[in-house]
Amino acid sequence: MLKPSKLVISLLSVGLLFGFSGSVASAAAHHVRAHDVHTCAKVTRGHAGCLAIRRNLLIDGVVPHVSSPSALLEPSGRSVFGLDALRKAYGVRLKGAKGFTVVLVDAFHAASAFADLNYYRGTWGLPPLADCTNSPVAGASCFRQVHQDGTPSVGATNDVGWAQETVMDVELASAMCTSCSITVVEADSTSFADFNKAVEQAVALPGTVAISNSYGGPEVSEKPFQGYEDAFAHGITVVASSGDSGFGVSSPASFKHVIAVGGTSLFTKDSGNYLSESAWKGSGSGCARGPAPEWQLSAKTHCQGKAIADVAAVADPATGVAVFFDGEWLVFGGTSASAPIVAGLFAAKHNTLGVAGGKLTGGELVWSSQKALHDVVSGANGTCALYCSAAIGWDGPTGLGTPKGTGGF
């Protein structure tokens, strides 16, 4: 866990980073605050935006360049979670299997994604992934980056906000499933039509066991966008961020067989072990207009349609995750962080699925494994009782709970 023990340590470290003299007094004399920035623009109906929130640490109004994850310190003294800290906090021990692939569906092109991912992995002593974008790499975990039509995606970054989203997605999925292959499928635009084509491409790729969608837009009918349902029909687990605007429903989290992932604030002990979580104020929740999946129990959700969320993970930027992007370390939050974490866990656990001789779907696993999750019972995203406040059992912002190892996945 990347955590200072006291506020003055945080201020001192920031001062050293930014070229102050090194004394507590000189660091404390500067105004230090955090400023959260939504990396993607607002969207209109029929489109979706990424749900990444970058947390900028401002010193006298300026964002310093951070070259080490250990320097990502919160003024409040709260944790910033790197790969090892995140795995320890959630008790993750499985590495996953080389034959399995996590697919991250994003928009536009992130030129630095492959290099950033391997730098991130190397920081915590993991071997680099091979590049199999243009050709298979026999017997090795690898990285692939393609357009929605399956052709290799190359060239310069054309949207920095989406590029940051993409890099966060691949790093967090790889953190949870360290031996898995990672594939990025990049939609040509932010329209649901193009995202649907990207999901269809993800289904067609060999080895796909989980697909993560860290984006959302105004609720729409799933009928024109059958790629998500096709993935479910092929036994692939599909997850989507529940949203970053508090109570309210977004798509594709609203789609029938998509596992909706909410967000929390995550706290650990000084040892780095799990301490507690609370519902994050931005976590999306509510009852969708579309039908509920078979795994949801209306007696628990009190929804006639799909209930959001199913499960949750860390999303609060104030207890954010460390991401290496294009030469520097950044802090991110949003349910864009929680979705790839959960997708990575499903992939890590994939080789051990099976109950009574038959495999369960991802949603069935979550809803049959509540005791294998951390039940979040505090925090809220609004004032609408069960759909806004964390409670014993299922609730809107955090679903049935958060990872406790891979038992619930």
Could you count the other beta carbons within 10 Å of the beta carbon of residue 304?
A: 12
At the fourth CATH level, the homologous superfamily of domain 83-403 is: Peptidase S8/S53 domain (3.40.50.200)
| Segment 85-101, tens digit of pLDDT | 999 999 999 888 787 99
Beta strands 181-187 and 101-107: pairing type?
parallel
The pLDDT-based confidence of 4 (bands split at 50, 70, 90) is very low
Q: What is the DSSP code (8-state) at residue 2?
A: B
Asked if the model's pLDDT at residue 172 lies above 90, the reply is: yes
Contact indicator for 259, 237 with CB cutoff of 8 Å: yes
Nearest-CA neighbor of 171 among 353, 363, 320?
320
Amino acid of residue 296:
Q
| Segment 97-132, tens digit of pLDDT | 787 999 999 999 999 999 999 999 999 999 999 999
pLDDT average, residue stretch 242-258 = 97
| Segment 287-341, tens digit of pLDDT | 999 999 999 999 999 999 999 999 999 999 999 999 999 999 999 999 999 999 9
Please report, for the chain, how many H helices and E strands are present, in that order.
Answer: 10, 20
**In which residue ranges of the chain is CATH 3.40.50.200 found?**
83-403
pLDDT of the residue at 72 = 80
Beta strands 142-147 and 130-131: pairing type?
parallel
pLDDT of the residue at 290 = 94
Label residue 302 left, alpha or beta by phi (over 0 means left) and psi (-120 to 50 means alpha): left
pLDDT of the residue at 136 = 74
pLDDT of the residue at 137 = 74
| Segment 29-52, tens digit of pLDDT | 567 788 899 999 888 889 999 999
Q: Which two tokens stand for residue 298?
A: 């209306």
CB neighbour list of residue 333: distance below 8 Å, 6 or more residues apart: 36, 53, 55, 263, 280, 314, 315, 316, 317, 318, 319, 320, 321
pLDDT average, residue stretch 20-28 = 35
pLDDT average, residue stretch 380-385 = 94
The pLDDT-based confidence of 5 (bands split at 50, 70, 90) is very low
Most confident of 11-15, 21-25, 237-241: 237-241
Most confident of 36-45, 245-254, 354-363: 245-254
Q: What is the percentage of the chain residues whose pLDDT exceeds 70?
A: 89
Q: What is the mean pLDDT of the chain?
A: 89
Contact indicator for 327, 246 with CB cutoff of 8 Å: no
* Greater model confidence, 71 or 362: 362
